[in-house]
Structure 1
């Protein structure tokens, strides 16, 4: 199969998957209304094999210090797969599966699989990382850019009740201390031990819930055009502070489901 864009439909919901552009979700339209910020860098991109920033681009891989390119100096940010071309494993009317093989600068050969399943009232994204060889630390997550307003309507409201907020240092990375959640604007990581549960409400239009069994979510709303709600398997710099190992017998897998209703 080529890696041209894939369009999925279910009821009046339509999703575009862009394998050639980092495996991202390029569009989510409900009743013809676009929920995701448009543009080559936006939509919703997969963050893998790490999420957010790695301090100095360096992480400990067993006893070896690895250096990733500083694509957000002085840090490395959001993994490598969003810059690559993914392959289509299969595509149907309402489901697509795409894959990406991790290559240099990532030091371990591995395969990422991203399954995208659309229903009339929900979108489910499942990502897994499988190693071809040795074990290594990794993270997976999603970075959606939701439009702040829909067709010039009222700004979106973001509601969630995290157990804590990771204190953010001057370098934008968690200090390791946890604080009471503070009001926005945010570029911050929050802990939700019972699972990510964030509701975005565009008044009078649509209510959308971002859910995941993972307990980490980054919320970024410092841009005028969009708001990001990012479920992920660990905090920023987590390859160093809270590594999750991908092993030959245990891949790393995570799922997020976005469900919506009209208001």
Structure 2
């Protein structure tokens, strides 16, 4: 088998590898030295780099493989510092985070409700810190023209909470990505699962019950609806998913929202870095 492939022009094999995925190209490079050499060609990795990024490379230093890996491991800040962009390492699909500045946040310009602040852990210059509100309303829009086609994307709220945070214990918020029929409930309390065993020993007040048509509709904290800590130290919770298929010249705007407007309890201590969209489970 090795002799058969070694008789082929290396450029031919490189062209074939360019039709696969970054993960497949990397795996095939371990077959033998011939594949390894072909997998280093710029024509292979140039096919995985988005055209708009490739154009900006303009013959810069390093191979296109090195450029691809930089785009995977080091998100770049674009659009006046309000959005970050990177690539999923296995698939080469586009990923983004929209900074809090790019989101619509109700009462964000009221100093008694929110404040803009800078913290070193954020990739953006400013984050939004919740001072005190009764109704939480955060939303954004994603133009499908920036997404990788034929990809199922998941949206995630990326946030932290302060030591004095309150108002989110035992109280889920409504999140949605895309059609309004996709509304689900998640928790923004990083300790929600740890509090679960205490929940059965406490009664949620009558106003908490009246917020839903039925008390049974309040979901219990579990792995699927609770925040997960990221490698960068922030927390994230999945908002929903959207399947983007190549649709010719059709462009849509996908709405993403995080809301809690039914109960009227005061909330404080939420720090929003942004909303991240990336391929669902790397596909």
Whether TM-score is above 0.5 comes out as no
Q: Which has the higher contact order (CA 8 A, sep 6+)?
A: 2
* Greater per-residue strand proportion: 1
Pick the structure with greater CA Rg. Answer: 2
* Structure that is richer in helix per residue: 2
What's the TM-score, normalizing by structure 2? 0.31
